[in-house]
Amino acid sequence: MSWSEAVKTHTDFQHKHFAHCESGVMSLMVSHHGMPLSEAMVFGLSGALMFAYIPFIKLGGMPLIAYRSRPKSIIRGLQKNLGIRMQMHSFSSPEKGMKKLDSLLQQGHIVGAQSSVFWLPYFPPEMRFHFNAHNLIVFGKEGDDYLISDPVFENSQRCPAKDLRKARFVKGMMAPKGLLYYPCGIPDTVDFQRILPTVIRKNARAMLKTPVPIAGVRGIRALSRSIVRLSGKDPREARLFLGHIVRMQEEIGTGGGGFRFIYASFLQEAATILDNNAELEKASRQMTAAGDQWREFALLAVTAIRGRKKSPIPFPALEQKLLEVADAETRVYKNLLGICSR
């Protein structure tokens, strides 16, 4: 098959813009293969909602703060919970990885790929940073350019082969190792009546009852205590840490509030599927309110950072807002456990 013929096989592929890369890629992939799932359903069904404050893992010299489960967990969660079979390849060399990608495209596949944001030239310079777990779809090739469906962009993109190669084989934390993936088995039917309560209950339990003090709602409270401890440190260091929290929350992926809004949409869809369950509808509104509180915390932190250098940072107010976030999320998860344990 020629490259022009290979590209023609993907004329039925429709790029769409999503909030988050991994959930967006999986929504596009499974929908393309006959299982129409929204991004919210993909995110919720994979059980990806999480919070973790991990001070001993550094990102740019700052503690890792995660608002969802680790990279690739959405892919693996859908495999486990829906019975989708995925073929995944990583490579020992860029040559092997690029050759395999070309072969899969010629076979007519649309192919998911993990990459670094920093080395993708279609990202504006101000949006580039060293994050190596960005997901996208390669759906064709024209000349030396790959055709890219990147869920965080409104339109499909083109990427020269040399740049995609560099982005796929960058070194460092979460190095992609040229990861490629695509479905090799999609179930004909899914028993949502059984699966939805199970995955909701499991995710709520993970957030509420984790034994690890830096994960789930306990992790939110741990972060609030760390903010209070900043009051005894250099104000410049405190502002840098607060800026890091906001960046992790609002700029990397969809952040704290954004993931909560996606999960709220999932609960709303689940409520409709489960016979218009009024209690799940209420839980969806509660989760939206929790997302709003995350955004209020970010606004408070940004105001503190941008204040005059001699202005005191309102550490007690920041701590209190995070504790309110933890309380709001606790109420949602307790309600979900009650709803989905009957």
**pLDDT confidence tier of residue 284, bands split at 50, 70 and 90:** very high
Answer whether residue 114 shows pLDDT above 90. yes
Task: Give the β-pairing of 85-89 and 111-115.
Answer: unpaired
- State the Cα torsion 235-328-264-215 to the nearest 10°: 60
Q: What is the pLDDT of residues 304-338, one digit of tens each?
A: 888 666 678 899 999 999 999 999 999 999 999 99
Side-chain-facing half-sphere of 159: CA atoms under 13 Å: 28
Which are the contacts of 181, defined by CB distance < 8 A and separation ≥ 6?
Answer: 75, 86, 87, 88, 89, 111, 112, 113
Domains of the chain (ranges plus CATH)? Answer: 3-36+85-185 (3.90.70), 192-340 (1.20.120)
What distance in Å separates the CA atoms of residue 335 and residue 333, rounded to the nearest whole number?
5
pTM (predicted TM-score): 0.91
pLDDT of residue 311: 76
- pLDDT at residue 36 above 50? yes
Stretch 166-188: mean pLDDT, rounded? 93
User: 24 and 18 in contact (C-beta within 8 Å)?
Assistant: yes
Q: What percent of the chain has pLDDT over 90?
A: 73
At 205, the amino acid letter reads: R
User: Quick one: average pLDDT of 70-86?
Assistant: 94
pLDDT value of residue 307: 65
Q: How far apart are the first and last CA of the chain?
A: 54
